[in-house]
Structure 1
Amino acid sequence: MITIKSPREIEGMAKSGHILAGVHRHLRNIIKPGISTWEIEEFAKKYIEDHGAIPSQIGFDGYKYATCISVNDEVAHGIPRRHLFLKNGDIVKVDMCVEYEGYQSDSCWSYGVGEISSLHQELLEVTKKSLYMGIEKSVIGNRIGDIGSVIQRFTEKEHHFGDVRDLIGHGIQPSIHEEPAVPHYGEPGQGIRLREGMTITIEPMINTGTWQIKSKEVQADDWTYYVSQDGSYSAQFEHTIAITKDGPKILTSQGDPEDEPYLIK
């Protein structure tokens, strides 16, 4: 079921998103060669809890951690690991959900570690731009397919990267996964129509190689994560947004210039 949120609920989600965005702003300075993914987990969990919020991924479908941390060819749902230390040239994705006073937010960001290759820098830039292209299409009256089609055309046809099909965006609030499904591929004019008060995530996952992925299991944690099928590097950028009469509004803004047209005033 798709739930329509009131302005009060959207404002509550924005407060949750502000806490989540604060984690990402700090990670920009923390993520460097030599840091372990477990240190990122510890920082994120402490920051969220110190701000009176809850890391809402903990306990969701049995998950144990505040963050999902995926490195290089790991596309999504990687777990933080005590003995996985980031090295120069890595790409790390940090995904988390926050609950604050009953309101949810969800955002993933990708970070280049130290100096990365020109190909991987292009991957980060294209993936991030595709997120904002999808947000731009998130207006009342458009359809879900309008979001996915612009992302697919830009990433695959213009830049020849792989646009992951199997993992998609979603509605959010009151739980972290709600209807509708929000694919990052598709045809314009197809899918459900966007309505005022809907809250969704847009989170393109883009690979330098094939769009296809495969699953791997972490036996000790009884958990499944995903990697690119051909071992190519992957990037992901995600915002939680609200559909409003004044256009799409980012609820997890980190205060970057590209967010400015989409902020709640």
Structure 2
Amino acid sequence: MTGFAKTVTRALAAIAFVAAPAPAGALADAAKPPVVVELFTSQGCYSCPPADKFLGVLAQRPGVIALSFHVDYWNYLGWRDPYSSAEATQRQQTYASAMRRRTVYTPQMVIDGKLQAIGSYTGVVDGQIRLRQQAADDRVVVSISGDANAESLTAALKGDGGRTGDCAVWLVYFDKQHTTAIPRGENAGKTLTYYNVVREIRRVAEYRGADLEIDLPRTGGQGARYDRAAILVQEPDGGRIVGAAWAPLK
């Protein structure tokens, strides 16, 4: 565990951060790009189940791409979350630095890389999603296409050509749903269901404003098979997500 992660505080001690101002389809809508909601959660966190359930609701909402990132810094409490990863923890820490927060916590939702809130505060999160849906900032249109029998899909990125800075293009593999019986830790004795569980995330390209096509393999590392894949186009260092789309892999 990093020194940064040791500064974790409980969600009940956190304060929602508000900045200025499909289920979600497989393709981004040019007229109304999807809003990306990332939940940072853990099976070892007693306050996370309500947020996990809420993410399942968001996963069914048109115009929203909801992703569940399981962090690894609660694994020392007697139960190792089987979906946790150092990459999820690092992504949350990157957001904390970008938002000038001194700590990370669970459950946390980050909306479009721009706003954040306690994941179980449904009203706050809904309001932040609306803010992002109404925002007039520039976006990149992302679409994913391909033959059902092909070994890979193609992600196409189209912007207005006015973007000057680089954006990272992230490939995210995730599963639709997992249910786990938890025998130890803070949620001992509970059987909990998780939605859109991220299994792998990797940086696959840089986007500089010109039209771009990216090969999207149907399998992850070592041939692992997952239910779905998403492409996120994001400004540097945990910045704003300017384009996204997802597609089924099965």
TM-score scaled by length of structure 1: 0.26
TM-score scaled by length of structure 2: 0.27
Greater per-residue helix proportion:
1
Greater per-residue strand proportion:
2
